[in-house]
Structure formats: C-alpha cells, structure tokens
Amino acid sequence: MTVRACMARFAFPDRLYPIADAGAARAGLDVVTLAESILAAGTRLLQLRAKELPSGEFVAVARAVQARARRAGARLIINDRADVARLVGAAGVHLGQDDLPAAAARDMLGSDAIIGLSTHDAAQLDAAVRGGGIDYVAFGPIFPTTSKRNPDPVQGLSALAAVRPRCPMPLVAIGGIDAGSIAAVLAAGADAAAVIGAISGAADPHAATRALLRAAGL
C-alpha cells in the first residue's frame, strides 16, 4: 500500500488522541474504568496501552474496552500487539520501532486497519514515510515524559516543526503533553496530540480529557 493510499483514507477525528495506559493509571484505577472515563468525555479515537499485562489478561481487557468503544461510537487502537487487535476486532494497532513490521501488521489486520508507527527522531520519521504501509506517524517525546521507563531523547517543539514538512501523512506528537502545552504542540504542526500521563494519571480522567479537548479547541 502506498503512502498516498494511506493518506487518502485516514485522518485523526479529533486533535486529541488519548491513550488509556494501564501502567500509568493512578493507584486503584483499572484500565477498563479509565477507558470508560475517557470515552465518556467524547473522544472518537482511543489507544489502549498495557505493556505489563500477560497476553491472556490483555486480550480480556482489550475485549472489554472494545465493547465500550463500540457503544460510544469510537474506534480503538491497540498498542504494540497486532494479534490482540485482530482477536478483539479493534480498528488497528500502534507499533513501536521494535514491534512487528508495518507490512506484517497490514497482512494480519487487512487493508481497512489503522496502523500507526512511533518515531523518535527525524531519521526514523523519514524511514517511516519511505516504508509506507502506515496511516499515521507519531513523533516524540516532545517534552520529558514519565510514561516510559527508558524514554528516548526529548525532541522539543522546534524538532516537531522541522519534521512537519517532511511528513506527508497525519502526524501525531507525543510525550509529556498536557492541557497547558497542547495548543503549542498543535501550532508547531502536529495534526493531533497523543496524551498518556495527563489523562491516565489524573485524579479525574474524564475531566482531564475534557480539559484537553477544550485546550485543543474542540
């Protein structure tokens, strides 16, 4: 599949791309309840991230979140695991640099699946664009983040602005973004901002999602 074909069929439905992260959720909050709170805020695209869960538990959680996403009229993206995305009928998968190659994920999930790929510098972004087979590129971390144990080097707003002209497909910024910085991230050229900690770790994830939507102009 060409980059042009991917571009023609996917656009972020909102300028906020929330991520329900089991690892980042505050103590006592399970990720299904977290996802419910985010969906209730009105988001139309949600990513589920649960890197520490065993496969069987991840599938069960993903099925529960997928059912809630369907009821809310939202699409669910599974982080890393194309096999889980296929098992639960999710809309697609978000891949990291060390995950299944995009072409293999496309073979597994089909032409209608949404496939995103994380990049952490300009060289990785250029390679993602050349490789094709994906629907959007993630770039970051834009700011320091605690959502990864060993985060990649911070790129900053200037690097985001620099790679924007080099990315002919939807570009989502990620890493340390909150309600106070999302407008600047979008102004630097991102089509959407992916947010983990400011939602998953919030005392009230529903209110945090609403605040981010407002800050993004939605």
CB 142 within 8 A of CB 157: yes
* Percent over 70 (pLDDT), the chain: 95
What is the distance between the alpha carbons of residues 112 and 90, in angstroms, rounded to a whole number?
A: 11
Does residue 6 register a pLDDT over 90?
Answer: no
What is the distance between the alpha carbons of residues 200 and 140, in angstroms, rounded to a whole number?
A: 18
Q: Which residue has the tokens 């990720």?
A: 31
Clarify whether 51 is annotated catalytic: no
Q: Which residues neighbour 50 within 8 Å (Cβ) at sequence distance 6 or greater?
A: 21, 22, 23, 31, 58, 61, 62, 79
Q: Which residues neighbour 6 within 8 Å (Cβ) at sequence distance 6 or greater?
A: 132, 133, 134, 135, 169
State the catalytic residue, choosing from 118, 147, 181, 200: 118
- The domains of the chain are located at 3-215
State the catalytic residue, choosing from 26, 70, 71, 148: 148
**149 or 156: which leads in pLDDT:** 156
The band of 218, judged by pLDDT with boundaries at 50, 70 and 90, is low
State the catalytic residue, choosing from 49, 68, 75, 210: 49
CB 138 within 8 A of CB 94: yes
pLDDT in tens, 57-99: 999 999 999 999 999 999 999 999 999 999 999 999 999 999 9
Which helix (H) or strand (E) covers residue 45, if one does? strand 45-49
Q: Which residue has the tokens 């032409």?
A: 111
Does residue 4 register a pLDDT over 50?
Answer: no
Token couple for 46: 């949600």
**pTM of this structure:** 0.93
Q: Which residues neighbour 70 within 8 Å (Cβ) at sequence distance 6 or greater?
A: none
pLDDT at 24: 87
Q: Which residues neighbour 82 within 8 Å (Cβ) at sequence distance 6 or greater?
A: 93, 95, 99, 100, 104, 105, 108, 109
Domain 3-215 has CATH 3.20.20.70: yes
Q: How far is CA 111 from CA 12, 50, 167, 197, in A?
A: 17, 25, 21, 31
